[in-house]
């Protein structure tokens, strides 16, 4: 195997692939990237068994004796970054080693056989969904922050993707809050509703890889795998083998109290009051009266903070506490000027959304002091 590639194209590919590679794996092959020399391009693959990423780059010249080999992903990436720009990188496989050269630099890397590299076997039964990368990224970004971390209920550590009539929806919850985002389609493209849970690492990698552009992306949802196809790469992951809880039961059917407040004023006030909140549960108390919302906090040192906001409200007074970090995180994903804050009187559950963008809704459970 002997070939040459453009340095910048190789760096761009390795930068994507290195996010998948597991540095701490006990299997040395999983620290490597696989090179497959095809007829017109080189196919590069990284995998950690549960997540796989493939991308291709054109080669300048090639001589084929061996089609496939694997080398250390991070070592090769570090080498390529250190090389001078506007030069080609030359590879040659000799005596089970990969010789890498560029300009006056020479490197020798150890290799492992490609037949030891894990290969995904995708599900045959698939549902295909096409949308823009910007729309898919928005679904992920607006909800993934609410995923649990290292919860024994392992299905909460992932992101629910749900296909419903004329829409695709993402849902995440850690048991204390829930975020839900929806993207609607003009036409109903599938017959049956479907739910899959994407594992946390795959969610974070997709969030990193997807671009905020109107570039097409195709989702292929199988029984055990998710495949994401773009013009630049193919991403696959194993799905979480579990059933996501019925999130609709968490959302109250009706909210008794609702007020409207300016987004930036609420966010700024919460940020100031949070400074003196309790470090353990980060609670801020909402005291709602006619035309006014009072925010207050205190801590173990008997320090206090309070701020009043004018709000559009004329109902019965309410008092409830919330984790301020959850509220601020939800508000950071609302882009509109006004925020609707709804409250269930019985369970004290809050719902945040914008009247100008109902595709995103955030649910926050109260803090019980």
Domains in the chain, please, with CATH?
2-116 (3.10.150.10), 127-249 (3.10.150.10), 257-364 (3.10.150.10)
What is the C-alpha separation between 334 and 343, in angstroms, rounded?
A: 18
Q: What is the DSSP letter of 239?
A: P
What is the C-alpha separation between 291 and 136, in angstroms, rounded?
A: 39
Q: Which of the four pLDDT bands, split at 50, 70 and 90, describes residue 192?
A: confident
Strand 105-112 versus strand 167-173 pairing type: unpaired
Estimate to the nearest angstrom the gap between the alpha carbon of 14 and the chain centroid: 20
pLDDT of residue 250: 84
Contacts of 338 (CB under 8 A, 6+ apart): 260, 261, 262, 263, 354, 355, 356
Say what the alpha-carbon torsion angle 294, 299, 301, 302 is, to the nearest 10 degrees: 30
Query: For 160-183, what is the mean pLDDT?
Result: 93
Contact present, 72 and 117 (Cβ < 8 Å): no
Enter the pTM of the model. 0.90
Check pLDDT > 70 for residue 349: yes
Check pLDDT > 70 for residue 66: no
Check pLDDT > 70 for residue 193: yes
Query: For 80-89, what is the mean pLDDT?
Result: 91
Check pLDDT > 70 for residue 161: yes
- Tens digits of per-residue pLDDT, 205-229? 999 999 888 888 999 988 899 999 9
Query: For 134-154, what is the mean pLDDT?
Result: 94
- Tens digits of per-residue pLDDT, 257-292? 888 899 999 999 999 999 999 988 899 999 999 989
pLDDT of residue 369: 66
Query: For 21-31, what is the mean pLDDT?
Result: 86
Query: For 189-218, what is the mean pLDDT?
Result: 88
Check pLDDT > 90 for residue 176: yes
Alpha helices (H) along the chain:
7-17, 73-82, 133-144, 200-209, 263-273, 324-331
- Tens digits of per-residue pLDDT, 283-337? 999 999 998 999 999 999 999 999 999 988 888 888 999 999 999 999 999 888 8
What is the C-alpha separation between 26 and 242, in angstroms, rounded?
A: 27
Q: Which of the four pLDDT bands, split at 50, 70 and 90, describes residue 63?
A: confident
Check pLDDT > 70 for residue 45: yes
pLDDT of residue 32: 94
Q: Which of the four pLDDT bands, split at 50, 70 and 90, describes residue 236?
A: very high
Q: At what angle do helices 324-331 and 263-273 cross, to 10 degrees?
A: 150
């Amino acid at each position: 195997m002997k070939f040459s590639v453009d340095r910048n194209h190789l760096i761009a590919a390795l930068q994507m692939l290195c996010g998948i590679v597991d540095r701490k794996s006990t299997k040395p092959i999983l620290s490597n990237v696989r090179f497959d020399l095809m007829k017109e391009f080189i196919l590069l693959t990284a995998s950690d068994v549960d997540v796989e990423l493939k991308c291709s780059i054109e080669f300048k010249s090639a001589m084929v004796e061996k089609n496939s080999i694997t080398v250390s992903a991070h070592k090769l990436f570090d080498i390529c970054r250190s090389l001078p720009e506007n030069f080609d990188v030359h590879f040659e496989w000799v005596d089970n080693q990969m010789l890498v050269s560029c300009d006056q630099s020479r490197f020798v890397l150890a290799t492992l056989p490609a037949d030891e590299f894990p290969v995904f076997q995708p599900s045959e039964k698939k549902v295909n969904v096409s949308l823009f990368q910007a729309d898919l990224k928005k679904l992920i970004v607006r909800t993934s922050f609410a995923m649990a971390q290292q919860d024994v209920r392992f299905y909460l550590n992932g992101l629910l993707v749900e296909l419903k009539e004329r829409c695709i929806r993402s849902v995440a919850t850690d048991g204390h809050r829930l975020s839900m985002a929806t993207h609607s389609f003009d036409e109903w493209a599938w017959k049956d509703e479907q739910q899959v849970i994407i594992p946390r690492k795959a969610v974070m990698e997709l969030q990193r890889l997807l671009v905020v552009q109107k570039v097409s992306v195709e989702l292929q949802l199988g029984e055990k795998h998710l495949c994401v196809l773009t013009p630049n790469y193919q991403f696959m992951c194993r799905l979480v083998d579990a059933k996501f809880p019925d999130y609709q039961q968490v959302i109250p059917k009706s909210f008794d109290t609702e007020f409207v407040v300016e987004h930036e004023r609420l966010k700024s006030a919460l940020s100031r009051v949070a400074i003196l909140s309790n470090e353990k549960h980060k609670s801020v108390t909402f005291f709602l009266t006619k035309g006014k919302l009072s925010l207050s906090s205190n801590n173990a040192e008997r320090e206090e903070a309070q701020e009043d906001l004018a709000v559009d409200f004329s109902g019965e007074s309410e008092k409830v506490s919330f984790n301020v970090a959850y509220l601020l995180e939800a508000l950071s994903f609302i882009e509109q000027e006004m925020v609707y804050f709804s409250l269930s009187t019985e369970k004290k559950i809050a719902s945040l959304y914008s009247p100008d963008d109902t595709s995103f809704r955030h649910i926050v459970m109260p803090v019980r002091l």
